[in-house]
Structure 1
Amino acid sequence: MHKNDELYICRVCGLEQSEPQWGIDGESPTYNICECCGVEFGYEDSTLIGIRTYRDKWIKSGAKWNCVKYQPISWSLNKQLANVPKKYL
């Protein structure tokens, strides 16, 4: 899909999205919910502190998928987190 385009990657968990969750301009949030970490794009991920806080809380609570039916069988938290753009770490 769009693995090389950070506009399609969740800023919190690194899951590739089907559309840019912050718009093509990277500044217009959709307020959709990430199927993996459950972040609402434009709310909990609107600041670097918010992103880090949400990610830490999600990981500490077991990094459970928000929509379990979409979780890949061979899912790896570390591999997915490696997709997070460096500026959001």
Structure 2
Amino acid sequence: MPQKEVDKRDAGNNFCPVCGYPLGNYNPWGDDGKTPTFDICPCCGVEWGNEDYTPESRKEYRNKWIAAGAKWFDPQKKPANWNPEEQLKNIAYETDR
């Protein structure tokens, strides 16, 4: 499946680069966008700066997460009306079916 990935972040609107989880003004790659925090995404469980270091590693982690059922890493933080397909749109993730 061909995939496209586009960065739609701005100063107050950050997303996990793997799963599109909304992070508000928190940037997992630091204020400069280049210094990873090494924190963990509560949704997909990626360690920012380790497993999402390149476009290829983001794609690989994302594909594994989706293939495993897109399960929440920290289920207590999962929104009641969560929709993984809608969340992935935050990072302009698309698959050609």
The verdict on a shared fold, with TM-score over 0.5 as the criterion, is yes
**Pair 1:33-2:40 in alignment:** yes
1:59-81 Cα deviation digits (max 9, x unpaired): 00000000001101100001100
State the TM-score, normalizing by the size of structure 2.
Answer: 0.79
Alignment counterpart, residue 15 of structure 2, candidates 5, 9, 13: 9
SS in 2 for 1:52: helix
Number of residue pairs matched by the alignment:
84
- Which sections of structure 2, spanning at least 5 residues, go unmatched? 1-7
Whichever residue aligns with residue 77 of structure 2, its letter is Y
Higher helix proportion, which one? 1
Pairwise mapping of residues 2-81 of structure 1 onto structure 2 (< 5 A)?
A: 5=10, 8-18=14-24, 19-81=26-88
State the TM-score, normalizing by the size of structure 1.
Answer: 0.86
> More relative contact order in 1 or in 2 (CA 8 Å, sep 6+)?
2
Whichever residue aligns with residue 47 of structure 2, its letter is E
Distance of 1:5 and 1:72 partners within structure 2:
23
Higher strand proportion, which one? 2
Shift in Å, 1:85:
5.2
